[in-house]
Amino acid sequence: MKSEFLLQIKDLKASIDNKSIIKGLSLEVKPGEIHAIMGPNGSGKSTLANVLTGRDLVTVTDGSVTFEGRNLLDMSPEERAREGIFLSFQYPIEIPGVSMVNFMKTAINEQRKHRGLEPLSASEFLSQMREKKELVEIDSALTNRSVNEGFSGGEKKKNEIFQMAMLEPRLALLDETDSGLDIDALRIVANGVNKIRSADTSVIVITHYQRLLDYIIPDFVHVMFDGRIVKSAGPELALELEKRGYDWIRKEADIAEESWITDRKL
Amino acid sequence: MDYRPEVISKLSAMFNAGHGTFLKDSPELFNRHREKAFNDFLRLGIPDRKNEAYKYTNLEKFLNYQYQDYFFPLPSDFREAERFHCEVEDLNVWNMVLLNGFFPHGEDGLVMLPGGIWVGSMKAAVRQFPSLVEKHYNRYVEDGTDGLIPLNTALASDGLFLYAPKNTVYTKPIQIVNLLHSDKDIFVQDRNLIIVEEGAQLSLLSCDHSISPRRFLTNTITEVYVGRNARFDIIRVQNQHDNSGKITHTFIHQERDSYASSNNISLHGGLVRNATWHYLGGENSETHSYGLFLADKDQHIANFVKVDHVAPNCNSTQLFKGVLDDNSSGAFNGRIMVHKDAQKTNAYQSNNNIILSDTARMDTKPQLEIYADDVKCSHGATVGQLDENALFYLRSRGIDVHEARLMLMFGFAHEVIKKISIEALRDRIDDLVQKRLRGELSRCASCAVQCN
Ligand SMILES: Nc1ncnc2c1ncn2[C@@H]1O[C@H](COP(=O)(O)OP(=O)(O)OP(=O)(O)O)[C@@H](O)[C@H]1O
Ligand SMILES: [Mg+2]
């Protein structure tokens, strides 16, 4: 049964080492939508991204997550990726000895196999690499190295967007991809995201700053506090947060303890 | 119970009984050293785990065994051996097979390669270059406490001779295939001598294979002299079956302004122990000791390294890595000794290991002895699992968990492989290691014998 939602999270609860981190979170993302998630440090944004990508250090204790109507929580991390979920990591890891080229070739071909397609030929692959490299203005010197090895902070982030562009996901999760970027890199990253966005492709942008949202205009902005979404609104919410900080929401949330505002039409 | 007295008495009997054969069939130079060497062996004995350098390596399985006679090959054995082709062949190398430690053409077996480099058997070398061989033979060995070293001197009759006279350069690697092939269980003692004179350059690829389903034990000594401003590289690829024990002692003696590197790639073998001794005897020299091993089942792979900084202004590195699965075990014992005149020494050592099972075991022991005051030394050792974060990163891009593990293991191993300076060889060894990690190299691919 095809769902109208690409991603549907219902009353999700999750913990790490028996410590409850996500405490009842619901979110619905339709194809083509862009959602921004903001919220103070430690509120659980990266943990949510970990749940969605299948990181096993997080244990889901309650609730459900479906992707195109299918139970996402049953799938291995690699299956989720092949189904079209992509995470741009907050802290991309360095993997010495594994070349970027070999890594990307393997990833692309695993995904193609999953979709019943033949592996890309060497020349097709290289031309795809070239095209996407240009898109994110990433230097060949980087893609000839080992995965993220010795990359600067900003280069690592650009490399995440490069991989996203190569893999053409259905749902991209960007976990603070904007932090540590200079102004040009920010524009490049935003540009990369806007290129992949389409009627089918949805994006969840986790960020602390309004400035990325100047380039990637979200349909919805959600505020996460202590493992829950406590407020959802349109793009104007991000501007307001920038001006006023989180305190007023904290107060509002305390008063409206029972009525988490997750209504999409708000 | 200590098995060693009985083995030593058997070896004594063998030495005495075989004495006539040795003396008749061996170079006089070798014979001259035998008696003293055998007495040294009797004095030092077979190293056991009380010996610091063998603390984690138990030789019993391979030494406590009745090997059949000391072996002298027949011409027909060589014809058989020549049919063998090894995985790294069809590289652009000059290539030769040593059968059970002997050269195919015995006394005629010495040829000059373009550029003036000599390669062939020790037997022939002693005839052709008597004073040169005498000047270097048994000069660089350091017995220390290891009785197996004089045992080789007492029993060896042949081996590889490589000679690069002053300022000669041979750009292709020279490949020697050390083949073990016999219908008996044999204990092989080969003795190799490599002389790279002033300004000369040479690289050697040495591949170890065992092709018959017998029990083998090899105890090898390789002495290397690297003259002023000379360069020498040795790469060993060890791919023997699990019923083979391979013990190597390599002594690299360096003069000033010289460069040497050693890289031991151990893919398979029941017991492998490589001891590599680097002696930096002249200023401004550089030496590198690398090693990579992949062990599974009940294999044991040990690397012992000693770098002696005798002269000032020298650099040394040690980089050893191991991947261990099943019940395998490994050991690394790396020593850096900086003598009192060796000021401005730079010595670096690193040993990293990945353990894939609950029952595999790795022991690593760095040892630094520094008697000079102006030196830079560093060392580090790790034993751990595959990095979970890296594994997740690969999987999150759609890569199958099994494939992701292989990629990480390969990436880990590649750091040692990439030190190989000959590109074609590096690619080939990359390929062999990939196959090994995928379990596609349980035996030598071109060999008809199903050993495992
Ligand atoms: N591996 C872990 N082990 C233990 N606790 C963890 C682990 N990962 C996250 N946590 C805890 O879970 C909570 C939520 O962390 P999370 O990283 O999801 O926050 P975040 O909203 O992404 O914060 P930031 O804005 O700083 O990135 C924090 O209290 C954090 O300490
Ligand atoms: Mg975070």
Dihedrals phi, psi of A188, to nearest 5 degrees: -65, -45
Selecting from B394, B398, B410 the residue whose C-beta is nearest the C-beta of A97 gives: B410
Domain boundaries, given as residue ranges, for chain A: 7-95+152-159+167-265
User: Environment class of residue A197 by beta-carbon count within 10 Å: exposed (0-12), middle (13-18) or buried (19+)?
Assistant: middle
Return the percentage of chain B with pLDDT > 90, whole number: 68
pTM of the model: 0.89
Q: Which tens digits make up the pLDDT trace of B305-315?
A: 999 999 999 99
Binned at pLDDT 50, 70 and 90, residue B341 comes out as: very high
Query: Is 60 exceeded by the pLDDT of residue B138?
Result: yes
Q: Which residue among A81, A102, A106 places its CB closest to the CB of B396?
A: A81
Atom of ligand 1 nearest to the CA of A39: 21
Quick one: closest CA in B to A163, which residue? B397
Report the distance separating Cα B32 and Cα B90, nearest Å: 40
Q: Determine how many CB atoms are found less than 10 A away from the CB of residue B57.
A: 23
**Cβ neighbour number for residue A117 with a 10 Å cutoff:** 11
Q: Residue B232's pLDDT is what?
A: 97
List pocket residues of ligand 1, CB cut-off 6 Å: A 16-17, 21, 39, 41-47, 57, 90
With a cut of 90, say whether residue B293 has pLDDT above it. Answer: yes
How crowded is residue B113: how many other Cβ atoms within 10 Å of its Cβ?
15
What CATH code would you report for A7-95+152-159+167-265? 3.40.50.300
For B224-276, how does the pLDDT look when each residue is reduced to its tens digit (9 = 90+)?
999 999 999 999 999 888 999 999 999 999 999 999 999 999 999 999 999 99
Ligand nearest to the CA of A45: 1
- In whole angstroms, give the CA distance from residue A106 to residue A112: 10
Chain A residues within 8 A of B399 when measuring between CB atoms: 78, 81, 103, 106-107, 110
Region A251-259: what's the mean pLDDT? 62
CA distance B173 to chain A (A): 25
What are the backbone angles phi and psi of residue B416, rounded to the nearest 5°?
-85, -40
Please state the rounded mean pLDDT for residues A109-127.
95
